[in-house]
Structures are given as structure tokens and as C-alpha cells.
Amino acid sequence: MNYRDEDLIKLAFGELDETEAETLRKELAADAAASSQIGEYNWIKEGLSDLRPVPPMQYSTERLRDAILGEGLNVRKRNPLALILAWTPAGAFGVAAVITGVMLMRTGPESLVPANLQSETSLAQVAMQMDDLHRPLLAERAFRTLDDQVRASTEFKVGFAPVAEETAEPEPKDASPKVRFAAQPTRSAPAVRRETQRTLTPETPAAAPVMEVAAPETADAATEQAPPIVMIGSEDDARTGAPIATEVRFDANVVVGG
């Protein structure tokens, strides 16, 4: 019969009830292997009791007194202030984390970026709010980012469609090879063709030279030959009383909208 090792250990070390121990002993009488195991545990138990005596201690009260009082040690009392100070940095960190989390949830990650480092759009908006359109450099800087070409092309597409109509003079095909539509880099060639045909006059031949013109690569290249643009500022001329008009050389400098 296989007995649980746990029961054998408890029996050997006297941790079973009298009735349980008696029952187990009777059963073990017929089991040589289990009896042998019990014998081993009994041997250990008796041996451990022999380990109890220890040599006399030579450590004296005077030595302890020297160790404690000689070194000026004192009872450390629990200082609630120290406990508070110990937990203060953790608490502050937690509060900061919660505030940051709330800010992120409410306003998005842009709120964490300083205003002067935010996107070029907001810079341009600031410039427009200041009504400072006479500072083309600021607007130009606002558009010089990685994706300003796409933005600029979108802006020009909306703002300069009439200009494209004006420049669609019937010219020889090879006389104006560089007439470009800077505003439509994302349009496919057939779409450009259909739109151009709609905007041209009926006298214009169907095979307009525009069809052959490829979409420009960059906004700067597209605006090299664009007509000058006149911007009307908010300040009035002292003599005439009319708003001051300024001619801008390149249309990339102009902020459209607002």
C-alpha cells in the first residue's frame, strides 16, 4: 500500500491525532517499505533533538552595552513627517501624470508643444491675425516645411483658377512650353485636360497646348513665371484714403484665405 509521504512525516514527528496515528501504525505494520520510511524519519527526529545543546554563550551584557551605548545609538522613533517627506515625490509625480493625461485626453498632443514650435499653419494664422501681410518673409517661412508643397498647391488650386484662365491665351504649342498649373500636382492628366477645356473660350482650339503641359514638381518652380500678385493691406494710404496695395513678386509668398 502506498501511503502519503505527508502522513508518514506527520506520524514520525508526532503531528497526527492519537486515533489517526494508531490507525496508520496498524496499517503500516504490514507494509515494509512504509515502515522503513517511518524508521528514517524517526532517526532524523531523534538526531535533531540531539542537535539542541549549544556551547555556552560568552557574549556579555557589557559587550552589548558597549555596542549600543558606546556607539551612541538611540531608539529610532517613527517620524510621521519623514514618512510624508518620503512619499511626497511619488505623490507629486502621480499628480503630474494625471494632469498630463487629462490634458492629452482633452486637447490632444499639440497642447504639449510650445506655441512657437507648432505647425506652420498656426504660424501663418498668427501672421494673419496680426494683419501683417506686409511681411512676406514671415509667411514664406511659414510655408517652408516638408509638406508645404502639397499645402501650397492646394491653396493655389483654389485661389488662382482665374489666373489660369487668363493665361490660357491661344499661343503656339512650343511658344509657351513652361506654362504650368502649379495648383494641380495631384490631378491626373485627363482631369487637367477636361478642366482646361471647360475654362478656355470656345474659340480656343480643342488641342490646346495646355494638354501637353506636365504638372509642376514644386511650387517654386511653378511660380517662377506666374503674374505678379497685388495684395491689399488693411492700412489706408494717408493721401488717397484707399487701402495700400503691394505687389508681391512670387505667389508662394502669399497666404490665401483667412
78/198 with CB nearer another protein: 78
Q: Does 32 engage in binding with another protein (CB under 8 A)?
A: no
Q: Does 198 engage in binding with another protein (CB under 8 A)?
A: no
Q: Does 146 engage in binding with another protein (CB under 8 A)?
A: no
Task: Supply 181's cell numbers.
Answer: 498649373
Write the binding mask 204 to 223 for another protein: x where contact by CB under 8 A, - elsewhere.
--------------------
Quote the least distance from Cβ 86 to another protein, whole Å. Answer: 15
Determine the Cα angle at 82 with ends 81 and 87, to 5°.
100
Write the binding mask 3 to 22 for another protein: x where contact by CB under 8 A, - elsewhere.
--xx--x---x---------
Contacting another protein (CB under 8 A), which of 25, 29, 65, 113? 65
Question: What gap in Å lies between CA 38 and CA 106, rounded to an integer?
Answer: 72
Q: Does 117 engage in binding with another protein (CB under 8 A)?
A: no
231: region left, alpha or beta (phi > 0 left; psi from -120 to 50 alpha): beta
Question: What gap in Å lies between CA 176 and CA 184, rounded to an integer?
Answer: 18
Q: Does 61 engage in binding with another protein (CB under 8 A)?
A: yes
Q: Does 33 engage in binding with another protein (CB under 8 A)?
A: no
Q: Does 67 engage in binding with another protein (CB under 8 A)?
A: yes
Write the binding mask 75 to 104 for another protein: x where contact by CB under 8 A, - elsewhere.
xxxx--------------------------
Question: What gap in Å lies between CA 117 and CA 53, rounded to an integer?
Answer: 79
Q: Which residues contact 227 (CB under 8 A, 6 or more apart)?
A: 163, 166, 167
- C-beta of residue 31 within 8 angstroms of C-beta of residue 3: yes
Other Cβ atoms closer than 10 A to 156: 26
- C-beta of residue 28 within 8 angstroms of C-beta of residue 21: no
Q: Does 52 engage in binding with another protein (CB under 8 A)?
A: yes
Q: What does the binding site for another protein look like in residue numbers (CB under 8 A)? A: 5-6, 9, 13, 40-41, 43-55, 57-59, 61, 63-65, 67-69, 73-78
